[in-house]
A = this chain, B = another copy of it.
Amino acid sequence: MSKQNTTRFILLGLLSHEDMSGYDMKKRMDIMVSSFWNVGYGQIYPTLAELEREGLIFKAAGAVSKGPQKNLYSITQAGREHLQAWLALPAEKEYTKYEILLKLFFSGSMPVADNVKRIQAFNERHRQNLGTILQFKSELAGILDTAPDHLYYYITVLFGEYVYKAYLQWADEALRLLGEAKTHADKE
């Protein structure tokens, strides 16, 4: 697995569909890919500058919607080829970081109530995420045949659904186990 800048390819991927500004891309990502990838502005703007220097994208005239002037970007032919080459590679970088699990792992000496609160907050957060993604899923289901991309969007949405549901199941089970342990301790 080579150490490559993945952000480049996300930005190229978004621009392969339509012209956008950096701000637009962030908004789009928050909606469409946030269940499996996150990028911040601190990575977006420098990468856009880099892609432009390399001739993979270019800055078009900034159409004003509201607020300050946008930098609207377009992808070039070289950019499309760069993206296709990446898509064809099998390498599948993959990692996760959940601070809550880390804290639980080391929290044998902490009050049980603290951990219960942690898990409840986690549960609530992902119940909301699940709600958002299920709404998105039902919208997508109606237009599945209208473009070849839509099936793939649907598949990625399904991933979010399964994973969020797993989080909720785990949280319920963890709370049950902590409740049992507490009840048991109270009896003694």
Contact = CB atoms under 8 A, between A and B. Distances in A.
A42 to B, nearest CB: 11
A104 B166 contact: no
Contacts of A159: 98, 101, 170, 174
Given A158-B174, A159-B170, A165-B166, A101 B148 contact: no
Overall SS of chain A's interface: helix
A147 B122 CA distance: 26
Contacts of A102: 6, 9-10, 13, 33, 36-37
B105 A94 contact: no
Nearest to A151: B181
Contacts of A9: 102, 106
B94 A106 contact: no
A96 B96 contact: yes
How many copies make up the complex? 2
A98 B94 CA distance: 5
Interface stretch (A19-27, A43-51, A64-72, A85-93): A85-93
Contacts of A162: 166-167, 169-170, 173
Given A104-B156, A105-B153, A91 B99 contact: yes
A34 B67 CA distance: 44
A105 B152 contact: yes
B163 A105 contact: no
Contacts of A84: 109
Interface of A: 6, 9-10, 13, 16, 32-33, 35-38, 83-84, 86-88, 90-110, 114-115, 117-118, 121-122, 147-149, 151-156, 158-159, 162-163, 165-167, 169-170, 173-174, 177-178, 181
